[in-house]
């Protein structure tokens, strides 16, 4: 029996999805499940995915055999930009079949495979193919990360509307409390999104991610 696959994305880049992925992995591990994380595409680093490194740090485990083999990050590019541009600069075509094959290998061994996307939901990885296209074609449940920053309501509602149009099953909306730049805006954003979710996505849960000990997430996509 294959493990369950969950996709983690965000309303924007640098919204906290790497930390959220690591914390969700840790939570499931504490419940007794075997869990591995996967980075769909990583840009802005070499050798080992920086986001995978942070996942493992949060999980409290060493890099796995699959990490060293590149299975948990099938595409790694050095330039810190959108995947489609990073791949273009290195004359590489990103093949969704390669990413899915890595996921399948991981799901044979682990109870849960948590896939972290690159950037936001509509980030392109090849010409006009986006993360949303990849997610919609495979039907994975989605954990979407938002924040209390100014503009988050707009970005969140746009992302949720697209999920509804593309029949994406929203499992959880995670509200990231970091950075807490304006308590008035953050408080209203949190309350607004929680009410909106209850009205329009009653099957989904709303979770608050506490400020994490690591105050900076990987700046790559």
**CA–CA dist 218, 105 (Å, integer):** 26
120 is in an annotated binding site: no
177 is in an annotated binding site: yes
118 is in an annotated binding site: yes
108 is in an annotated binding site: no
198 is in an annotated binding site: no
119 is in an annotated binding site: yes
18 is in an annotated binding site: yes
* Active-site residue set: 39
19 is in an annotated binding site: yes
172 is in an annotated binding site: no
43 is in an annotated binding site: yes
Could you tell me if 174 and 148 are in contact, meaning their C-beta atoms sit under 8 angstroms apart? no
**CA–CA dist 109, 90 (Å, integer):** 32
Peptide bond into 204 cis (omega under 30): no
176 is in an annotated binding site: yes
Nearest to 7 by CA among 125, 154, 171: 171
How many Å is the Cα radius of gyration of the chain?
16
16 is in an annotated binding site: yes
Annotated binding residues for ATP, written as ranges, equal: 14-19, 51, 116-119, 176-177
Annotated binding residues, written as ranges, equal: 14-19, 43, 51, 116-119, 176-177
Annotated binding residues for Mg(2+), written as ranges, equal: 18, 51, 116
Annotated binding residues for substrate, written as ranges, equal: 43
């Amino acid at each position: 029996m294959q493990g369950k696959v969950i996709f983690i994305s965000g309303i924007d880049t640098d919204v906290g999805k790497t930390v959220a992925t690591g914390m969700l992995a840790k939570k499931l591990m504490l419940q007794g499940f075997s869990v591995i994380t996967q980075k769909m595409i990583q840009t802005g680093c070499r050798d080992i995915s920086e986001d995978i490194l942070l996942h493992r740090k949060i999980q409290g485990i060493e890099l796995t055999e699959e990490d060293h083999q590149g299975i948990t990050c099938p595409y790694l590019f050095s330039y810190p930009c959108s995947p489609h541009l990073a791949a273009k600069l290195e004359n590489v075509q990103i093949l969704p079949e390669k990413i899915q094959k890595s996921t399948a290998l991981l799901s044979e061994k682990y109870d849960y495979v948590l896939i972290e996307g690159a950037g936001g939901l509509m980030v392109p990885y090849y010409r006009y193919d986006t993360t949303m296209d990849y997610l919609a074609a495979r039907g994975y449940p989605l954990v979407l990360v938002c924040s209390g920053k100014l503009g988050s309501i707009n970005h969140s509602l746009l992302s949720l509307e697209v999920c509804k149009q593309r029949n994406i099953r929203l499992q959880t909306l995670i509200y990231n409390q970091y950075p807490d730049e304006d308590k008035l805006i953050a408080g209203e954003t949190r309350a607004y999104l929680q009410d909106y979710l209850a009205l329009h996505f009653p099957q989904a849960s709303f979770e608050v991610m506490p400020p994490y000990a690591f105050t900076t997430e990987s700046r790559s996509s």
